[in-house]
Structure 1
Amino acid sequence: MGSLVPFQDLNLLPEPRPTSSSLPSTNFRRPKLEIRVKSEPIDEPISEVQTPGLIPSSPPPNDPNLLALEPSSTSNDESNVLSEFYRLSEMFRSAFGQQMQEQQAQQQQTLDSNSGAIVPVPDGETQVSALAVASPTIRRQKRSNELVRVTNLSGEDQNYFRDIVRRTRMLYDALRIFAVAEEEKRNGPGGGRRARGDLRASTLMRDRGLWLNMDKRVVGSIPGVYVGDLFYFRMELCVLGIHGQVQAGIDYLPSSMSSNGEPIATSIIVSGGYEDDEDAGDVLIYTGHGGLDKLHRMCNHQRLEGGNLALERSMHYGIEIRVIRGIKYEGSLTTKIYVYDGLYKIVQCWFDVGRSGFGVYKFKLVRTEGQPEMGSALLRFAHSLRTNPMQVRPAGNLTFDLSLRKENVPIYVFNDIDSDQEPLYFDYLPKTIFPPFVYAGGNMGCNCVTSCRDGCLCWMKNGGEIAYDYNGLLLRGKPLIFECGSHCSCPPNCRNRVSQLGMKSKLEVFRSRDTGWAVRTLELIHSGAFICEYAGVVLTREQAQVFTMNGDSLIYPGRFTDRWAEWGDLSQIYPEYVRPTYPSIPPLDYAMDVSRMRNVACYISHSLSPNVMVQFVLYDHNNILFPHLMLFAMENIPPMRELSLDYGVADEVTGKLSICN
């Protein structure tokens, strides 16, 4: 495993020396206790839960244990002794009651060894999942004051931590989607106040001790979080420990918790909240916090305290700062998205007069070399690629639509490595072709006029619930999903018609040096959203044996892993949660030929930590032995990110993945 390095004791470092900047030297050492955060608007804060005290400050009036000690017919000496006992008891309670209360609370809590910081486990110890089943009791854990740095992560370590982050994000998104769906169920879509599922999800996870990096403050990169990862909500940054402030733009260790009494900054959010900010990508001029009124207008001079002093101290000690950019994005579920752009170092700090005429503190940050490309830059590049690909890519072989208009959106093919054009040699197949006998037996549909609702036939076929919310996002994975089909009277915009409507996100088949031909998205794909169908020509077992002898490429749907069970799994929040088993289907015993006709999904790469899963769906027939293979996103997939699937176990004979013959 990697190394968990405690951050160097700041008391051992030399005293800070005055710089040539115009910072007031009197404010270097001790910040004031008054902190004015660089805040951003949020609808409502997370409600805090107060745990009742374990030891009362004074004895209850009817305590039987104390009543037994009250004098009744005792002598004066005995009465004096008892009175002195009461007096000393009260002094003891008032002096040590709070301390004993905290100690008892800590002893009663059942701590999960990995529910906080995602740090390597020493060799020889049993690794307990960081997402262990949580106790239903509330156990609010405060953020630690210990600064650590995680280094020397191997490839196996990175996959391990990435899987922890991926599962945490899946749980958060599932809770958020469920919370919004419950609100829409009560008030209808768009009715009443906008549902804040992000706050509800984060509160539930915090109450169960499922926030990451709570018992360690990681300096530098967070294990399992990649440069370019995208988030829709500020609260998700807090859940993962990337940025621990709900509203403040500067996350830092306060001076009261620091080893030498000086605050230390670890991350910032750049979202254009201050008029003096200048963002050139690799170089950033960041304005400190403070001086704003309720309308976010400068009304006072900033002070070198709180987060401002923390940034200055991080510059002095050479501490890297995680930079998250808030960007407005069209088509997003929220008004703003957040992209992690990597590590920066503060190289300069000065006090200046801002555009509004008030004094502001400015910090110049330079991005550390050797990191992957910034996610914000990839967002801009993908936008240019969608609008004018010829100017963006002057070199390389580019095909504008692999599907030849058979899909709702074009599919690009790009190769700037060699002259291989393999995807162009196959006929494009937008939907799976089933044998005629699959459609025998008819297909019953619902009689809904507008959209499917409680009690309709399709609702009952799905076990009494619709699998999608009003935004078309998958609520939770199931063994099989019945969508409304041609025999249903509901309109095409019915809530229960999602995957059959085809692709909505632009994809690109590209040539990769690592995985050969692969697929990446050119648009932001939300977690739980439908991507495309895995299409091919369906073969029975006997037909598949003949095709295998000819060396054709076959896909075996029965070998895909049950990743659908991970999406919407709320067992860590609700112990009574039961994994969906209805509608149940027998083991699939058919194959799909993709040797001559295929679609874009056939080029998706294999991964043990995939961002795409297979969900079985029926809509044009009722034969549960031959479902469609529909692909859904398991996490927020940013533009230019490669898609990956878990194809399952290898073939027992050839030892290859199921995509091979």
Structure 2
Amino acid sequence: MGSVNPPQGLNLNLNLGLDLELDLLPPSHNSTTSTSATATPAFLTPKREPKPEPLDEADAFTPSFTAPVPFSPPPPDPSDGSPRDDPSVFSEFHRVSELFRTAFSSRHPETTVLDPDSGAIVPVPPDDSASRPPAVSPGSLADARQSMRRKTTMELVRVTELSIEDHRYFRDAVRRRRKSFAGVRILSMAQDGNRRYVRGDMVAWSAMSAQKLCLHREKRIVGAIPGVKVGDFFMYRAEMMVVGLHCQPQAGIDYLPAFQSPNGEPIATSVVVSGGYEDDEDAGDVIIYSGHGGQDKFNRQCANQKLEGGNLAMERSMRYGIEVRVIRGIKHDNKLTNKVYVYDGLYKIVDCWFDVGKSGFGVYKFKLVRMEGQPEMGSAIMRHAKSIKISPLSVRPAGILSLDLSLGKDSLPVLVFNDIDNDNEPLRYEYLVSSVFPPFVIHSVGNSAGCECVSSCGADCFCLRRNEGEMVYDQNGILVKGRPMIFECGPFCKCPPFCHTRVTQKGMKHRLEIFRSREVGWGVRSLDLIPAGAFVCEYAGVVLTRDQAQIFAVSGDSLIYPGRFTPKWEEWGDISDVFPDYVRPPPSSNPPLDFAMDVSKMRNVACYISHSTVPNVMVQNVLYEHNNLSFPHLMLFAMENIPPMGMISLDYGVSNENTGKPLLLTG
């Protein structure tokens, strides 16, 4: 098999090995699929779960299996002293590496460092390939994976000096994993009848773990995770486990155990601050984090904590000057989960002491200070967005052009904000809630067909059969998978208005704001956290036929050509990387979208969404009030978790032949 090479300019102090090998393999190793009818994979209940200690949320998952974790007694402190107070994230790398080598050599004098310039914080032990039985065929893909694992199992490293291309590469790898996670989770919930006791997130993690699709599975990376940005939101802990940000389903401290470390010392890599302990104090840039252990099932301290496990790992990280990733668990009122998680960056552990807690029991406390030079914390941005929704004028007294551009027409107010210049373009147009179709489309023959369901739509529903007999949305209104066309129940159906298929026609569920930017001009951002797969808004305008569009184009009016949008719906729900037997939906057999949309006089918030070749929303064609396949509604769905104040982007597809730019609005 040919060599597997990372992107050009990659400077890693590690071999990512098994974690990213599926992303790095050439196309010849990708599984091929047929374009026949979609095969539905069977989902199994996960049989193994990580250690559930301590609980940090009321509805924490109770695993069926608890794996014991051996601990080594605390070793003596290194003789090199306490860490320096250098705010740079990577400036202490060589010093810390030397500390580890010194500590390792003092405890294991018979061991020599194979490569002092390898960049590994913990040296790699000699290869024992001679004593390893040949379990796989030499030269096979499995042999390559096993070889990568042998070389990197005992390394503890940082990833440094990534180029712009490297950042894009790993960001794309993380996006693909998160998209697969969402696809498996949503589909497993839909197949199980949306039963509330089914943990779709754990099913998705278990399936991806079985296929070795979880990134950085051996928790070797300290510091920043390639492809994960400060401010990224996660709806589930299992989603963080998939990308290697925090690899514990319940425990607040994630660490490399002593038995996995060559020098026999545990090292903390990340912590979740979620208010599960009464002695925690969170001031943003400074955190007093209490250790774990000694709590009952009601999260009450009932015993003294011990310097072992995660607590010892935190103390060792402090002594060696190792930074930890901080993820904040925030209570959030949404239908998916009662808590969301946001990565807030790197913190140094600067102090550790044993104190009497509020309950009278001994508690280990750690002082964490956020390192300088990082982007703004996602939790702070979330609080800012919430204050804007509550009192926009008091938070931003200057720059607000409109508190509701729709003037009450839309389901939620649409704010307009500009603190850059005097441009007020959005105020010049009449606001449309939904697209306006030609009369012959609405009144065409066959539009009176609808389902006969009375209470709710079931297996015999006419509309459900038009969607290949599958559920289009889950119980929370999340899109299960992309389709060439979605048929929702409409005005001619007898089912009630709260029918679970009427998602897009109920309007927006998340607050949006049109804002002025120096980089893109006018753009759109969300004031809420929009989960992946959720409906965002409709792309609305006045629909024109081909002949009408040619006339309007001569006049220089602003036209949008939906047929040129990149069909990103093909990617949503594609889980062929997790289940090789999964077959993608066949290409659309519907007639092409041979129409244009005039937005020169009437438009809605979607018309200000910026173009991107890596968008976070996609266009999904939907029909409900008529049955003309050539004139669907253009509904936008989130392809990833969109954070508060996050810009929304859409791939407009083919560029304009004259200007070479994406088909955006003129003016």
TM-score (norm 2): 0.79
Question: Match for residue 309 of structure 1?
Answer: 312
Q: Is the 8 A contact 1:115 1:212 kept in 2?
A: no
- Aligned-partner residue type, residue 43 of structure 1: F
2:137 touches 2:143 (CA, 8 Å); kept in 1? Answer: no
Deviation at 1:328, TM superposition (A): 0.9
Match of 2:77 in 1: none
Equivalent position of 1:541 in the other structure: 546
Task: Indicate conservation of the 8 Å contact 2:52/2:250, yes or no.
Answer: no
> How far apart are 1:396 and its partner, in Å?
2.1
Q: Distance in 2 between matches of 1:179 and 1:654?
A: 45
Q: Kindly indicate whether residue 77 of structure 2 is the aligned counterpart of residue 40 of structure 1.
A: no
- How many angstroms apart in 1 are the aligned matches of 2:144 and 2:653? 30
The counterpart of 1:508, out of the listed 507, 513, 521, is 513
Match of 2:403 in 1: 400
- Using the TM superposition, give the Cα deviation of residue 378 of structure 1 relative to its aligned residue in structure 2, in angstroms: 1.6
1:124 maps to none
Instruction: State the Cα distance separating 1:398 from its structure 2 match.
Output: 3.8
Residues 1:655 and 2:660 aligned together? yes
Task: Provide the rounded CA distance (Å) in 2 between the counterparts of 1:198 and 1:277.
Answer: 28
The residue that corresponds to 2:161 in the other structure is 152
- 1:223-242 → structure 2 map (5 Å cutoff): 223-242=226-245
Match of 2:446 in 1: 442
Residue in structure 1 matched with residue 338 of structure 2 by the alignment: 335
> Counterpart of 2:79?
none
Q: Secondary structure at the match of 2:260?
A: coil
Shift of the 48–293 alpha-carbon distance from structure 1 to 2, 3 Å rule, reads closer
Checking the alignment, whether the CA contact within 8 Å between 1:143 and 1:214 is kept in structure 2 is no
Q: Which moved more, 1:393-402 or 1:103-112?
A: 103-112
Structure-2 residue corresponding to 1:22:
none
1:243–1:251 CA contact under 8 A, matched in 2 = yes
Is the contact between residue 116 and residue 216 of structure 1 (CA under 8 Å) also seen in structure 2?
A: no
- Structure 1 pair 583–494 and aligned structure 2 pair: CA distance change class (3 A): farther
Question: Please, which of 162, 177, 194 is the counterpart of residue 186 of structure 2?
Answer: 177
The aligned residue for residue 368 of structure 2 is 365
The amino acid that maps onto 1:441 is V
Q: Does 1:495 align with 2:500?
A: yes
Relative to structure 2, which stretch is displaced further, 103-112 or 474-483?
A: 103-112
Corresponding residue of 1:596: 601
Q: Which residue of 1 aligns with 2:103?
A: none
User: Secondary structure of the equivalent of 1:151?
Assistant: coil
Cα distance in 1 for partners of 2:273, 2:140 equals 37
- Alignment check: 8 A CA contact 2:400 2:415 kept: no
Deviations 1:520-568 (A, max 9, x none): 1111212111110001111222222222222222111111111111111
Q: 574-583 vs 450-459, which deviates more?
A: 574-583
CA spacing shift, 1:107–1:350, aligned 2, 3 Å: farther
In the alignment, which residue of structure 2 is the partner of 1:279? 282
Q: Is the 8 A contact 1:477 1:568 kept in 2?
A: yes
The residue that corresponds to 2:527 in the other structure is: 522
> Which secondary structure does the structure 2 equivalent of 1:175 belong to?
helix
Using the alignment, how far apart are the partners of 2:314 and 2:233 within structure 1? 24
- Contact kept in structure 1, 2:616 and 2:638, CA below 8 Å: yes
Report the secondary structure of 1:564's partner residue. helix
Instruction: Say which SS state the counterpart of residue 419 (structure 1) adopts.
Output: coil
What residue is the counterpart of 1:621 in the other structure? 626
CA gap 1:236/1:103 in 2 versus in 1, 3 angstroms: farther
Shift of 1:586: 2.4
Three-state SS of the structure 1 residue aligned to 2:626 is coil
Q: Where does residue 419 of structure 1 map in the other structure? A: 422
2:159 is paired with a residue whose SS is strand
- The one-character-per-residue Cα deviations of 1:453-472 (angstroms, maximum 9, x if unpaired) are 11222122222223112221
State the alpha-carbon separation in 2 of the partners of residues 197 and 36 from structure 1. Answer: 18
Superposed counterparts of 1:44-193, under 5 Å: 44-45=62-63, 103-104=134-135, 110-111=141-142, 144-184=153-193
Paired residue for 2:30? none
Letter paired with 1:228? G
Distance 1:114 1:558 in 2: 43
1:622 Cα deviation after fit: 1.1
Cα distance, 1:245 vs. partner? Answer: 1.5
- Return the letter of the residue paired with 1:503: M
Return the index of the structure with the highest Cα Rg: 1
Q: Give the fraction of aligned pairs with identical amino acids, expressed as a percent.
A: 60
One of 194, 203, 207 as aligned partner of 2:197 = 194
**Quick one: which of 575, 582, 586 aligns to 1:577?**
582
Q: 1:251: Cα distance to partner?
A: 0.9
Give the counterpart letter for 1:230 in structure 2. Answer: F
Question: Which one-letter code corresponds to 2:184 in the other structure?
Answer: L
Give the distance between the partners of 1:237 and 1:408, measured in 2 at CA: 33
Change in CA separation of 1:461 and 1:36 when aligned onto 2, cut-off 3 Å = closer
Look up the SS of the partner of 2:135 in the other structure: helix
State the TM-score, normalized to the length of structure 1. Answer: 0.79
**Within 2, Cα distance between the matches of 1:457 and 1:600?**
33
Q: Is residue 37–residue 250 contact of structure 1 (8 Å, CA) maintained in 2?
A: no
Of 243, 258, 264, which aligns to 1:255?
Answer: 258
Is this contact kept in 2: 1:401–1:411, CA < 8 A?
yes
Partner of 1:571, secondary structure, is coil
Q: Give the superposition deviation at 1:420.
A: 1.3
Q: 1:213 to 1:604 in 2, by over 3 A?
A: same
- In structure 2, what is the Cα distance between the partners aligned to 1:501 and 1:596? 24
- The alpha-carbon deviation at position 621 of structure 1 amounts to 1.2
CA distance in 2, matches of 1:323, 1:222: 12
Deviations 1:6-57 (A, max 9, x none): 59xxxxxxxxxxxxxxxxxxxxxxxxxxx995443632327699xxxxxxxx
Q: Separation in 2 of the partners of 1:632 and 1:626?
A: 18
SS of residue in 1 equivalent to 2:239: helix
Give the counterpart letter for 1:239 in structure 2: V
> Cα–Cα, structure 1 residues 553 and 206, in superposed 2: closer, same or farther, change >3 Å?
same
SS in 2 for 1:458: helix
C-alpha spacing 1:108/1:102, structure 2 compared with 1 (3 Å)? farther
Q: Of residues 352, 355, 362 in structure 2, which corresponds to 1:349?
A: 352
Tell me if structure 2 keeps the 8 A contact 1:148–1:216: no
The alpha-carbon deviation at position 242 of structure 1 amounts to: 0.2
The Cα of 1:307 is off from its aligned counterpart by 1.4
| Greater shift in the superposed pair: 333-342 or 537-546 | 537-546
Aligned partner (choices 207, 211, 216) of residue 214 of structure 2: 211
1:553 lines up with 2:558 in the alignment: yes
- Decide whether aligned partners of structure 1 residues 296 and 660 sit closer, same or farther in structure 2, where only a CA change above 3 A counts: closer
Q: Name the residue aligned to 2:124.
A: none
Single out whichever of 522-531 and 651-660 deviates more from structure 2: 651-660
8 A Cα contact 2:525 2:645, kept in partner: yes
Following superposition, the deviation at residue 240 of structure 1 comes to 0.9
- 8 Å Cα contact 1:36/1:306 also seen in 2: no
Q: 1:36 to 1:639 in 2, by over 3 A?
A: closer
TM-fit CA distance, 1:423: 0.7
Give the CA RMSD over aligned residues: 2.8
Q: How many residues align?
A: 558
Q: Which residue of 2 aligns with 1:633?
A: 638
Q: Deviations over 1:84-125 (max 9, x none)?
A: xxxxxxxxxxxxxx99886516979844989999xxxxxxxx
Match of 2:13 among 5, 24, 30: 5
Amino acid at match of 1:44: T
Cα distance in 2 between the residues matched to 1:578 and 1:115: 29
1:382 aligns with 2:385: yes
Distance between the aligned counterparts of 2:293 and 2:312, measured in 1?
12
Q: Which residue of structure 1 aligns with residue 91 of structure 2?
A: none
Could you tell me how far 1:516 is from its partner in structure 2? 1.2
| Counterpart position of 1:295 | 298
